């Protein structure tokens, strides 16, 4: 296909595709799908080889948010029966983080529900970062605390945060349809504050909220302009008890096309396969590794993912390798630019990266991602459920399980 040859050439040169080319990727047929994956895979390998970066979410504060993001299980008025708890103590968060690092995670994403942190919250998170880095100084820490006020980004950076996540989520034109309590411009402003403070910016999207192809292309082009180092791609987990509970539109094929489009538009950026991968990609998850170079290990913020061991086995079986702590995630040109901006991680040396509340992992869970397995937390249900075919548009609530283990519970985390 001329289209794919053109997109590969542009991806290898870091040249922006046209909007028409990006839309054409989303419009490819199922017959063309493997060619699309192979083409975007060439771009992925050029910049990231066969490495897969693992990230681990720690939900510092769950539920009871005053904001009204429609996709979020932690939103104002949510009837989703998620775990609800206030701030974890630094030692509790550090213990949860250690489990993720022991499981192979290179980055820990500290996420808290809420509109944004108070200065006292920034103090709390600073102590948590110190506790995590005391145990493992090489681990990358990303904070995801919502909208930042003046000076908070600098304080987080000084406390050791390598990255800050805040997702754009959807196009500017449709933002008001999913959230009324803050604006798209508020989100852009927070990402820019994080960048200005020298943190590695992480900002992505949620697909599957009823948006058009044009909306998807809009938000991905906006992300390219904003130029975060990592772009989490969430697939909506339609949580029962939220306004988007009936939005079951995604198919594995659609998810792969979306990931390919993101890779072509943001070729040298850490594209992270985030919430909803188990629910919507199901048995096609390994193909997505040809497009994304980063995933979350284990559970999400308010829902359960597949077992951490299954993530590792999938990566090995698909012919990829887990990125080690001593490897720089980003291509040299990006790593050098980040180091020059004041962030020592993510680039030269054990880097930073991104996570996200309000962002990366918030797709279906609230500021969190989704995933799904057994309600008792034994993790068996995902493996069982993926064996069954799911027609497009059919609800798969059997694949969505509220998180009942790890942070905020007495049960060990999934890592």
Residue 191 binds to ligand SF4 (criterion: CB under 6 A): no
Binding mask 47-66 for ligand SF4 (x = CB under 6 A): ------------------x-
In the residue annotation, 255 being an active-site residue is answered as no
Closest CA to 280 of 367, 362, 385: 385
In the residue annotation, 72 being an active-site residue is answered as yes
In the residue annotation, 109 being an active-site residue is answered as yes
In the residue annotation, 272 being an active-site residue is answered as yes
CA–CA separation, 388 and 362 (whole Å): 26
Helix/strand/coil for 159:
coil
Q: Check if the beta carbon of residue 11 is closer than 8 Å to that of residue 5.
A: no
Helix (H) or strand (E) holding 207: strand 205-207
**Which residue among 72, 153, 258, 322 contacts ligand SF4 (CB under 6 A)?**
72
Tokens of 56: 């681990």
> What's the closest the beta carbon of residue 256 comes to ligand SF4, in angstroms?
25
**Catalytic residue of the set 44, 72, 107, 373:** 72
> What's the closest the beta carbon of residue 404 comes to ligand SF4, in angstroms?
19
CA–CA separation, 97 and 58 (whole Å): 7
> What's the closest the beta carbon of residue 359 comes to ligand SF4, in angstroms?
8
Residue 363 binds to ligand SF4 (criterion: CB under 6 A): no
Computed from CA positions of residues 15, 322, 102, 369, in that sequence, does the dihedral angle turn out positive or negative? positive
Q: Check if the beta carbon of residue 364 is closer than 8 Å to that of residue 370.
A: yes
Residue 324: CA count within 13 A, CB half-sphere:
2
Closest CA to 67 of 107, 116, 28, 109: 116
User: Which residues ranging from 110 to 139 are in contact with ligand SF4 (CB under 6 A)?
Assistant: 113, 115
By CB under 6 A, how many residues form the interface with ligand SF4? 14
373 annotated ligand binder: no
CA–CA separation, 138 and 63 (whole Å): 30
**Catalytic residue of the set 75, 124, 142, 404:** 142
**Which residue among 10, 44, 53, 75 contacts ligand SF4 (CB under 6 A)?**
75
65 annotated ligand binder: yes
In the block, residue with structure tokens 């083409």: 39
In the residue annotation, 65 being an active-site residue is answered as yes
Calculate ∠ Cα 106-112-114, nearest 5°: 150
**Which residue among 362, 400, 404, 414 contacts ligand SF4 (CB under 6 A)?**
362
**Which residue among 28, 55, 59, 74 contacts ligand SF4 (CB under 6 A)?**
74
Question: What residues are designated binding site?
Answer: 65, 69, 72, 109, 142, 202, 272
Site residues (vs ligand SF4, CB under 6 A): 65, 67, 69, 72, 74-75, 113, 115, 146, 357-358, 362, 366-367
Q: Supply the residues annotated as catalytic.
A: 65, 69, 72, 109, 142, 202, 272
């Amino acid at each position: 296909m001329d289209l794919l040859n053109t997109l590969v050439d542009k991806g290898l040169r870091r040249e922006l595709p046209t909007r028409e080319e990006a839309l054409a990727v989303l419009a490819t047929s199922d017959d063309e799908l493997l060619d699309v994956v192979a083409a975007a895979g060439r771009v992925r390998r050029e910049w990231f080889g066969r490495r897969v970066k693992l990230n681990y979410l720690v939900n510092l504060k769950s539920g009871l948010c005053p904001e009204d993001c429609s996709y979020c299980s932690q939103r104002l008025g949510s009837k989703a029966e998620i775990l609800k708890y206030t701030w974890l103590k630094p030692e509790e968060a550090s213990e949860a983080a250690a489990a993720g690092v022991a499981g192979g995670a290179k980055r820990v994403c500290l996420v808290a529900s809420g509109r944004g942190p108070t200065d006292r919250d920034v103090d709390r998170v600073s102590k948590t970062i110190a506790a995590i880095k005391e145990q493992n100084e090489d681990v990358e820490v990303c904070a995801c605390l919502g909208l930042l006020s003046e000076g908070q980004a600098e304080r987080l950076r000084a406390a050791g945060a390598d990255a800050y996540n805040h997702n754009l989520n959807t196009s500017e034109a449709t933002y008001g349809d999913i959230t009324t309590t803050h604006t798209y411009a508020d989100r852009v402003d927070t990402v820019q504050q994080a960048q200005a403070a020298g943190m590695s910016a992480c900002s992505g999207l949620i697909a599957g909220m009823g948006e058009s192809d044009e909306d998807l292309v809009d938000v991905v082009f906006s992300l390219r302009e904003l130029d975060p180092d990592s772009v989490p791609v969430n697939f909506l987990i339609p949580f029962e008890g939220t306004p988007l509970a009936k939005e079951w539109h995604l198919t594995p094929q659609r998810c792969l096309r979306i990931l390919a489009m993101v890779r072509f538009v943001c070729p040298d950026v850490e594209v992270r396969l985030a919430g909803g991968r188990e629910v919507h990609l199901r048995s096609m998850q390994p193909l997505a590794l040809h497009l994304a170079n980063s995933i979350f290990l284990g559970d999400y913020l308010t829902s359960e993912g597949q077992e951490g061991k299954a993530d590792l086995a999938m990566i090995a079986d698909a012919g990829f390798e887990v990125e080690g702590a001593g490897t720089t995630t980003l291509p040299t040109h990006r790593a050098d630019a980040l180091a020059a901006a004041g962030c020592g991680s993510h680039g030269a040396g054990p880097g930073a990266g991104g996570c996200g509340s309000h962002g990366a992992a918030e797709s279906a869970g609230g500021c969190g991602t989704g995933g799904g397995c057994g309600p008792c937390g034994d993790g068996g249900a995902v493996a069982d459920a993926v064996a069954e075919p799911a027609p497009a548009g059919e609800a798969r609530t059997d694949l969505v399980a509220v998180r009942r283990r790890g942070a905020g519970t007495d049960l060990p985390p999934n890592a």
